[in-house]
Amino acid sequence: MGQLDDKSALVTGASSGIGLAIARRFAAEGATVYLTGRRKTELDAAVAQVGARGIAVQSDVSDLGDLDRLFAEIVNRSGRLDVVVANAGVGDYSPLGAITEEEYDRTTSINLKGTVFTVQKALPLLAAGSSVMLLSSSAALRAAPGLGVYAATKAAIRSLARTWAAELADRGIRVNTLTPGDVQTPGGDELRAAFPHGDAAEPAPLTPLGRIGRPDEVAATALYLAGDQSTFTTGAELLVDGGATQL
């Protein structure tokens, strides 16, 4: 028996990293998991790792037409959702003075607009007992030089989770924030590589636990929020950052 037997879950941005780890864990626990990503080759490879319970739907969360197509597919196949993980996100190293309009639009469109409309369009498929998770970042909780726009979108996501938890409480839908710190992912590696060597803004390589995190550690917390162990948890923020923002 799995913790998510007979449940249907959506994980956006699941082609790699944290999203893929969450999708794999959910499927291993018995859920049917819809994975989204913008690049078909990477998405297909991700579904192959997830196994028979994984369903790939190529889509861009910042494109409302893509979102409509995604949810039509979920309606046709499952008719409902029990878990939504709004994970899709991007970030660029751009200190004030170097931020471009293109970078600003891309980051806000995927991280913020994409999160808002993913959850809004999922609402008709969610019943009492459903769980919604929004992925934030520890960058939103501390000064993160060079990551101002990214951190601002992730702080906004935390605010949205509080508001939506209050708005959806009478429907029995829980909304929580999952906030990773420094985690070993392809996207994280790319972002860390963008910091100038020796720059004071470069992220510290170690947390109080003496290492950075693994995607599967974030996925374990996502499983808690998705399943029946967290039925009295809503509006909360769960930090998976090795103590970096707390110690």
**Residues 142-176 pLDDT 10s:** 998 999 999 999 999 999 999 999 999 999 999 99
Return the SS3 of 245: coil
Confidence (pLDDT) at 1:
87
Angstrom distance (rounded) from CA 46 to CA 33: 12
Asked if residue 54 is part of any domain, the answer here is yes
Confidence (pLDDT) at 191:
65
Asked if residue 57 is part of any domain, the answer here is yes
Whether 150 is catalytic is yes
| Catalytic residue from among 93, 104, 150, 224 | 150
Confidence (pLDDT) at 79:
97
Tokens 């990293």, residue? Answer: 17
Asked if residue 247 is part of any domain, the answer here is no
Confidence (pLDDT) at 201:
46
Asked if residue 246 is part of any domain, the answer here is no
Confidence (pLDDT) at 199:
47
pLDDT tens per residue across span 4-18: 999 999 999 999 999
Asked if residue 148 is part of any domain, the answer here is yes
pLDDT category of residue 186 using cuts at 50, 70 and 90: confident
Query: What does the block give as tokens for 4?
Result: 């998510």
CATH number at residue 217: 3.40.50.720
- Statement: residue 197 has pLDDT above 80: no
Count of structural domains within the chain: 1
Beta bridge partners of 34: 10, 55
| 28-53 mean pLDDT | 97
pLDDT category of residue 193 using cuts at 50, 70 and 90: low
Confidence (pLDDT) at 185:
80
Query: Considering the entire predicted model, what is its pTM?
Result: 0.94
The residues near 241 (Cβ < 8 Å, ≥ 6 apart) are 138, 179, 180, 181, 182, 207, 213
Asked if residue 2 is part of any domain, the answer here is no
Q: Which domain holds residue 127?
A: 8-240
